[in-house]
Structure 1
């Protein structure tokens, strides 16, 4: 696909993502869907209202009615689409910086669209073949005010409220100025937790921290946990479909570690879990310990969702899946990433143990990650060519399902182009920190040398 990446369409607002382009996507999607109603929602980004208005107008121009959901977390929007059996257009750039925005398309089942449907919509975008509603066929636009409240109510019915309440937990929460600020504080308080917040006012400038919940962005949350004696810190990204954790001592918990801890609780012998090609050895170890099968896909929620559906069709049980960035699926609950739900499942683990104790068995690996920006397609091509040359010179057979992954037994390294930003990403992991650093540095230096 030329337009839809690993998680929708994203770009710098007004440049990589223009109002005209959003209009074409909305008209194309509504044309392919050919339904009576479409939902439109957004996150807190400063360009969100602009693009949501354009998307709503584009869908309405085809003759469909539009439900305007306002600002809502991605999982609240997907829930609404499933319950109402209507497709949705969500204006969000998830974890990207504030100058970005994007478009994510959701099906009538409340799940991100499969590749086949996205390809049909993409064809209409490129050829500009749109349904045009006659003047007397234009339907009404309706403001829906209960989306977030209904979402929180369902969350409360879907987790072990009694266990969490009995644990008498103090939660430090950082919603990143995003849509989760409208739902997660209320949700965790309703679970019986004492909740302390930082960056909890909706603000698309992200004044307190950048949207991506990575270690370097969460210093304030770590400090808050330590200063208030909180039992755990929970951080979201801009659309609240991720959760990253801080332990009771204010230490950052890597997303691969929390995924392994949650998977160890959820998986049983004979189950299957799905992860992206940058999967940590931590999850591999959990699957080996419990007798579960691990399936790998290219990076991106769409690819994981597609494989889960295929496994379901084969009669497989898939209680948990996801990536080490805090985006975890609990498919028996709903086939979406839900940061608030992920957080609650982690709180369930704290009934008898501290956060540091819960994750201690999965912290024996060390990770290194690099992001190398490129400014043009020619520079991108040179970088990838250099990466390929480097990979071919190594004493390991590459996995090419998404980029190049080299496994060495004690360590691995992966290089791939980002599906959402103009960056080449490098991931490395090893039992020894020096080993992971060496693998990451080797391919990083090879790519950087190719630019001179």
Structure 2
């Protein structure tokens, strides 16, 4: 039986068809395909589009990937070590997601799991809902990567697995892949109980309604607000065919009093590159400027990536023009507002957990609001675990995130969420006292309450964007310890003491991060040698 979602009539699956029934592949081909996978604590991904083109929007995937995905599902199930686990499964809005979701659901059912399938769901939605009594979640997504990519994130209780747990899962997957993986994948899909599969697909709409209800209350809880909170600004929501088109954004924001202009809100209605940076925010910027010219209530706009956890913003300047906020600027603004709000309420021992490449501007902001900054290695799981470790030491860590990537994580959430950023901005717009308090601490003159006024008052910093061409170095070498040693040698040779003196650079600092630890200094003695 064919199933379609009730909101947009998108194809979910055909329970009468076994995706592995007529596959034709070999172990050598499977090994070749899996060698191209990127597997890390942040997630597993590859180009799933059958053509191999990362910009291909096809729904089709290869026979090799069908075997690999089935094996991933088996590894995930076995790693839980629970007889009949209750597992939450969802996908982002990529076209290959329907097949990957079908394979994952079929495999988990065959293994004995109770599966609640949400079909297309934003990452913050499924991760929030995973707190509601589930043993684990599996989310099929490639986040901000091109449409032909896809992948997997695994976790429990609102957050993805820590590196140690993710490494164990990866090891189990590779072991299963070496043990007659093709035959076992075919066998697993052949024994899927059709009645249970049909029931799982028939329950999608009901499961989705529960997830949305839970997520709405979770967003309010995270913002520290109740259902009576109201706001009155105008927002442009340029969703670019992302999973956020199926979640609470538009009804929630209009429900609290915002005026919302939505564009490309139908999932898979992707009109530009997925990563919400630079020129990909131009449609949102233009629409905000046009909306403001017609109605002065419009003051901000946002655009998410495909799974809807990363969202970057545009805003109206004091001159009435719309401008794009850089990822690091969004993070700096949110951190400043949240730290100021807590400091104004006399909350002590504040700390912010960030990744290594987050701008030093955060340190300057934190100092003004009596907070400390701690850094981890890149990776959302690292930042979340660092925040947890800091709380165990007595710190109040309400705001955290990877400033280099944009977006923020607001406790108790364990994943970034543009709605969390929006709620921070809405609190800011509705609290003139907080704005005045911030401007005084920042040493700025009194001004009209606006994002532009606050942005201009923040400590000035020059920060290179993480997706800028000058910020990227494509290196295939996997001996990371040797790579770092050679990089340090090149750094010393390129910037000798004479250059620093001539350039009037008074000082600099080398910071090295591994996992949750930051060490300040150059040389192998400031790292373990493991990475």
2:20 aligned residue: none
Deviation sequence 1:398-450 (CA, Å, 0-9, x none): 323269x9999xxxxxxxxxxxxxxxxxxxxxxxxxxxxxxxxxxxxxxxxxx
Note closer, same or farther for the CA distance 1:27–1:356 as it changes in structure 2 (3 Å cut).
Answer: same
Q: CA RMSD in A?
A: 3.4
SS of structure 1 residue aligned to 2:306: coil
* Structure 2 CA distance for aligned equivalents of residues 135 and 53 of structure 1: 14
* Structure 2 CA distance for aligned equivalents of residues 170 and 161 of structure 1: 21
Matches within 5 A, 1:263-282: 263-267=335-339, 268=343, 269-282=348-361
Unaligned 5+ runs, structure 2: 1-36, 55-60, 293-297, 433-448, 497-507, 522-531
* Structure 1 CA distance for aligned equivalents of residues 510 and 220 of structure 2: 44
Note closer, same or farther for the CA distance 1:161–1:361 as it changes in structure 2 (3 Å cut).
Answer: farther
Q: Is the 8 A contact 1:43 1:179 kept in 2?
A: yes
Structure of higher CA gyration radius? 2
2:158 aligned residue: 110
1:140 matched to 2:196: yes
1:357 matched to 2:357: no
2:123 aligned residue: 74
Q: Is the 8 A contact 1:257 1:362 kept in 2?
A: no
Q: Find 1:87's aligned residue among 136, 145, 161.
A: 136
Note closer, same or farther for the CA distance 1:136–1:375 as it changes in structure 2 (3 Å cut).
Answer: closer
Matches within 5 A, 1:61-210: 61-107=110-156, 109-128=157-176, 140-141=196-197, 142=200, 143=203, 144-146=207-209, 147-156=211-220, 159=223, 160=225, 165=230, 167-183=231-247, 184-203=249-268, 206=270, 208-210=271-273
2:512 aligned residue: 400
1:27 aligned residue: 74
Cα offset, 1:173, TM superposition: 1.1
Cα offset, 1:313, TM superposition: 2.2
Unaligned 5+ runs, structure 1: 409-452
Q: Find 1:238's aligned residue among 270, 282, 306.
A: 306
SS of structure 2 residue aligned to 1:84: coil
Q: Provide the aligned length of Structure 1 versus Structure 2.
A: 401
Q: TM-score, normalised by structure 2?
A: 0.68
Cα offset, 1:19, TM superposition: 3.0
1:10 aligned residue: 45
Runs of 4+ in 1 over 6 A off after TM superposition: 129-139, 161-164, 378-386, 405-408
* Structure 2 CA distance for aligned equivalents of residues 57 and 188 of structure 1: 36
1:348 aligned residue: 427
Higher relative contact order (CA 8 A, sep 6+): 1
Q: TM-score, normalised by structure 1?
A: 0.79
1:433 aligned residue: none
Matches within 5 A, 1:267-346: 267=339, 268=343, 269-324=348-403, 325-331=405-411, 333-346=412-425
Cα offset, 1:9, TM superposition: 0.8
Q: Is the 8 A contact 2:107 2:192 kept in 1?
A: no
